[in-house]
Amino acid sequence: MAEKRKQSRAQLRNMVQYRSLSDEDFDKMFEDKQSSIIMSEDFEERIQKKLTEFSNDYDIDDLKINDKETLRAFVQAIIALEDYEAFVFDVRTGGEITQVNINVVDRVSKIMSDLRKDISRFQEDLNITRKIRKSDKESSVVSYIANLKEQARQYYESKMSYIFCPECNMLLGNIWVLYPEENNKIVLKCARIMDDGSKCGNTVTVTTKELMERRGTNKLEITPEALL
């Protein structure tokens, strides 16, 4: 690393724009450049660290190029806000309150406010706001519960047997039994009021075994397919 730095220094010294500089001026310029490079490397390390932390909570592998650029800008804004917050903290805890310090803190606070707006916008662009995450989670839970209810309904209906009046086709009842293969007898009387005002009055007798053999109904021809 030191050898590489010496070569870089020598190469710079031989460049036309630096030949006229005194050794003192060149040394200052070179050190400034080195400091700038180190700062850039440190900043890039901070960005990569944030991106790694971010990848622990979100899947960023399949992001498109524009989303990756937005994510990088989002991370840079977070880092900048952290630095400004640290700076304001140092000023406020420095012990001396002057008009200059007040003015500086005021200007930096405005910059921080703009950064927070940018961060919020980036979050919306990347679809990672707390509100959106919470909404997605709630929607997922609602969908899950609705799916469970639908499965329960379908299971319930698949296990039920449907008994119709043989005369007027009125659904008189549905039943679920633990042992349908047993010859349990069910007797139901239809009390449907007919169009002429009379009562149907028909009595239907069926066993659970018969219902099981007829796919859960005593009148297969009028039972909806979805219930069979």
Residue 142, H or E segment: helix 130-159
Q: When comparing pLDDT for 33 and 25, which is higher?
A: 25
Region 215-222 average pLDDT: 86
Predicted confidence at residue 135, as pLDDT, reads 56
Which of 33-37, 176-180, 186-190, 216-220 comes out lowest in average pLDDT? Answer: 33-37
Residue 57 has pLDDT above 50, yes or no: yes
Average pLDDT, the chain: 76
Region 35-44 average pLDDT: 65
Look up residue 58 and give its DSSP letter: S
Percent of the chain at pLDDT > 90 equals 9
Region 26-34 average pLDDT: 64
Q: Which residues of 197-227 are buried (b: 16+ CB within 10 A; e: fewer)?
A: eeebebebebebebbeeeebbbbeeebeeee
Residue 88 has pLDDT above 70, yes or no: yes
Block residue for tokens 């977070």: 78
Q: Where are the domains of the chain?
A: 2-133, 160-227
Three-state SS annotation for 187-215: EEECCCECCCCCECCCEEEEEHHHHHHCC
Predicted confidence at residue 105, as pLDDT, reads 78
Residue 129 has pLDDT above 70, yes or no: no
Strand partners, 171: 164
Predicted confidence at residue 216, as pLDDT, reads 87
